[in-house]
Amino acid sequence: MKLVSLMCLLGLLLFGCASSPADTNRHSGEVSETRDEHSYANINEIRTEHLHLDLEIDFDEKRVSGVARHQMSKSDADTAVFDVKGLQIDKITIGKSNEKETDFVIGEADEILGSPLFVKITPGTEFINIYYQTTKETEAIDWLPAELTASKIHPYMYTQGQAILTRSWIPIQDTPMNRITYSADVKVPSDLLAIMSANNPKEKSSTGEYHFEMKQRIPAYLIAIAVGDIVYNSLGDNCGVYSEPAYADDCAFEFTDMPKMIEAAENLYGEYRWEQFDIVILPYSFPFGGMENPRLTFANPTLIAGDQSLVTVIAHELAHSWSGNLVTNSTWDDFWLNEGFTVYFENRIMEELYGKETADILAVIERQELDTALEEMENDGHSEDTHLKLHLHDRSPDDGMTDIAYNKGAYFLRTLEHVAGREKFDTFLRNYFDSHAFETISTEEFVNYLDSELLEPNSIDFNVEEWIYQPGLPNNCVNITSSRLNRMIKMAEDVNNGKDIFMGSDGDLKRSDFITQEWQAFIRGLSTDISIETMIKIDEKLHFSDQANRQLKVEWYQLAVRVGNKSVRPEMKEHLVLVGRRWYIERIYQALKDSDDPDDLVWAKQVYDEAKNNYHFVSKSTIEEILYN
Ligand code: BES
Ligand code: ZN
């Protein structure tokens, strides 16, 4: 492109696009204040309706390249603005069968948001084709060499889109306020299988070519792909597990209850609208326990605990098929609408399958986490971060991924349920999902809906404003208790008071006597004043550091650091080097950083140097923030 025309275009575009997008509000007559601060897209002028991806996945070059073909809404706009970050844009054309090259400008890059991509169009332009490739700066994609997979034979790649990483592997209007359908033609090495958040193949094709369709409208953050040596195991009529062959049998056992979970969820809040519910167990580097990509939840192998004790994550991701994927937060400031509802719904699924006692145990653990988060945020002088409705302007949406959105959000809904009664509350929620299906919703719109559909008709006086817009936890928060957890806390107190819990009637205490979450409460109840010898003795009997599932290891290692028990370092290092799931490593790195013993931070940095290539960008940036800031 000639420099002169580029400058003209830039001038024109900067004038034309100075304002941020406003809501294309679905309720006529209402003017919505909602703006997505985390996207440059001008969706109120012109927006993508359908995206077709023509892509090639090159493992040697670690590059995705091809064309993003955007089919746009009817508009008089002369510019379309997309979000891009770390992408190389090769050329852009407009038109379908007869493509013509058009001018474009990539605006200044913001460290968090990336850049606006301004594309010159003519009024009425329907197709915009962006020819591009990913680069080493692409944040969404994890490229794994064969050594980091279970088989150690084939390489693997996967993407993570939420919250604003999709723009680093697809040039797109990357805001949850816009929903699109998508299709894709993807070419991969012929010995690998490609799967997406769309309809999926059940086995490899001989050519390495795959076609995908996602016919339901979804926000950009839910577009995802995984490519590797992957096999499929059906677990029911409409569900199953993709994994590397080595995990296939273990997965089939661990996730046996998936069909029952789907049935329970449908009974609670209405039809499952995505036809198929599969999960894919990715390599250990996947930065989350689970990610609710529609039709294909992405999950971490740490879920395979061997005893089905961590399937809450599956219930959680399934629940997102309603809260989050069907009814989506408008902006990342409204993230609690995705996660708070999902934690609430997840707990209801768990109650249906495993009973109220189990569900209460989970809720009490969540309350502990919430109390800790509230205390930390208050102490750090960040009480504004304890509001459900956030203000993440100029901050990364990742900053909102805290226990507030998840657990304060869930406790808000539990308190509403308590006040309104379960029957009324369930009817309300079911109608909420039905009436907002395939739409996005802001906190303010939700508050209006809550008032008009639940509170006013039932004359309920409720401190909604305090719950959503004020710091801390309101006094009327329901108090959930669990006698089983109280017993574990009592046992921990006995240890703290010097009692030998392996003597007397408890002499043959074994780990299998209690479920994961009970032991979690036990470990959390132990004082950091207990001796190293006590820890070692407990560990000899109960094997938290070497044999327990990783949820317990995470608790145990944090305590070990706080107690100054370095004997667990070999196992702790094995964990930190293997696992990239952020919540399973950041707490340990944080404990090492906070330790009074300066050697802990030195050791943490050494381990991190060895481990970092095994982590996805998301985990790397969090851990670097902890260790180096
Ligand atoms: N959607 C989240 C993961 C996420 C949130 C990714 C924000 C990027 C930005 C997912 O549903 C989630 O919450 N996963 C949890 C599961 C847990 C709460 C049961 C996880 O990974 O641990
Ligand atoms: Zn979630």
Q: 191, 210, 229: which is the final residue of a domain? A: 229
The answer to whether residues 465 and 487 belong to one domain is no
Whether 261 maps to a domain, the answer reads: no
Pick the atom of ligand 1 nearest to 583's CA.
22
288 Cα to the center of ligand 1, angstroms: 6
397 lines ligand 1 (CB under 6 A): no
Could you tell me if 358 and 433 lie in one domain?
yes
In this structure, what CATH number is given to the domain that contains residue 413? 1.10.390.10
| pTM exceeding 0.75 | yes
Residue 518 belongs to a domain with what CATH number?
A: 1.25.40.320
- Is omega for the bond preceding 80 within 30 degrees of 0, making it cis? no
**What pLDDT does residue 33 have?**
63
pLDDT tens by residue, 100-125:
999 999 999 999 999 999 999 999 99
Q: What is the pLDDT of residues 60-112, one digit of tens each?
A: 999 999 999 999 999 999 999 999 999 999 999 999 999 999 999 999 999 99
Query: Is 45 in the same domain as 174?
Result: yes
Assess contact for 70 and 51: CB atoms under 8 A: yes
Same-domain status, 431 and 489:
no
Report whether 346 contacts 319 (CB < 8 A): yes
**Cα 292 to ligand 1 centre (Å):** 8
Statement to judge: residues 403 and 494 lie in one domain:
no
Distance between Cα 585 and ligand 2 center (Å)? 18
Measured from the Cα of 581, ligand 1's closest atom is 21
Q: What is the mean pLDDT of the chain?
A: 95
- pLDDT tens for 493-538 read 999 999 999 987 767 899 999 999 999 999 999 999 999 999 999 9
Q: Is 288 touching ligand 1 by the criterion CB < 6 Å?
A: yes
Mutation probe of ligand 1 site: the residue of 112, 142, 291 with most atoms within 8 A of C-beta:
291
Distances in whole angstroms, Cα of residue 265 to Cα of each of 426, 440, 586:
12, 21, 31
Task: Please list the alpha-helical segments (H only) found in 380-408.
Answer: 403
Which of 446, 469, 492 is the last residue before a domain boundary? Answer: 469
- Between the CA of 84 and the centroid of ligand 1 the distance, in Å, is 24
Report if residue 264 sits inside a domain.
Answer: no
Say if residue 447 is in the same domain as residue 528.
no
DSSP character at residue 73: P
Give the CATH number, domain containing residue 196. 2.60.40.1730
Q: Domain check: are 19 and 157 in the same one?
A: yes
Residue nearest to atom 11 of ligand 1 (CA): 291
For residue 38, being part of any structural domain is answered with: yes
Specify if 131 maps to a domain: yes
**Cβ contacts of residue 524 below 8 Å, gap of 6+?**
368, 492, 555
Closest Cα to atom 20 of ligand 1: 289
- Residue 172 carries which DSSP code? B
Q: Is 406 a catalytic residue?
A: yes
Q: Which of the pair, 602 or 28, is modelled with greater confidence? A: 602
Host domain of residue 438: 322-469
> How many domains in the chain?
3
CA of residue 290 to ligand 1 center, whole Å: 6
Residue nearest to atom 2 of ligand 1 (CA): 291
Q: Which residues contact 278 (CB under 8 A, 6 or more apart)?
A: 200, 232, 239, 240, 241, 242, 295, 296, 297
Protein residue whose Cα sits closest to atom 22 of ligand 1: 289
Q: 387 and 527: one domain?
A: no
Check 40, 221, 344, 406 and give the catalytic one. Answer: 406
503 contact partners, CB below 8 Å, separation of at least 6: none
Of ligand 1's listed atoms, the one at least distance from the Cα of 320 is 11
**pLDDT single digits (tens) 112-163:** 999 999 999 999 999 999 999 999 999 999 999 999 999 999 999 999 999 9
Same domain, 425 and 498: no
Reported as a single tens digit per residue, the pLDDT across 328-371 is 999 999 999 999 999 999 999 999 999 999 999 999 999 999 99
Contacts from 236-239 at CB under 8 Å and sequence distance 24+?
A: 236/262, 238/262, 238/272, 238/275, 238/276, 238/277, 239/276, 239/277, 239/278
- Residue 462 placed within a domain: yes
Domain boundary among 195, 212, 229: 229
- pLDDT value of residue 548: 84
Q: Verify whether residue 132 is a known catalytic residue.
A: no
505 exposed, middle or buried (CB, 10 Å; 0-12, 13-18, 19+)?
A: exposed
* CB contact at 8 A, 153 and 146: yes
CA gap 150, 139 in Å, rounded: 23
Q: What is the rounded distance in angstroms from the CA atom of residue 232 to the CA atom of residue 596?
A: 48
The least confident of 16-30, 198-212, 545-559, 592-606 is 16-30
| Cα–Cα dist 176/527, whole Å | 44
Map tokens 């090769």 to a residue: 90
Residue from 317, 346, 417, 555 carrying the catalytic annotation:
317
Same domain assignment for residues 445 and 492: no
Residue 252, in any domain of the structure: no
Which residue has a Cα nearest atom 17 of ligand 1?
313
Cα end-to-end distance, the chain, whole Å: 42
> Is residue 247, in this structure, part of any structural domain at all?
no
Q: Is 301 part of any domain?
A: no
424 and 540 share one domain: no
Q: Are 393 and 510 in contact (CB under 8 A)?
A: no
Same domain, 165 and 29: yes
CA distances (Å), origin 560, targets 475, 494, 538, 566, 592: 34, 18, 12, 7, 10
449 lines ligand 1 (CB under 6 A): no
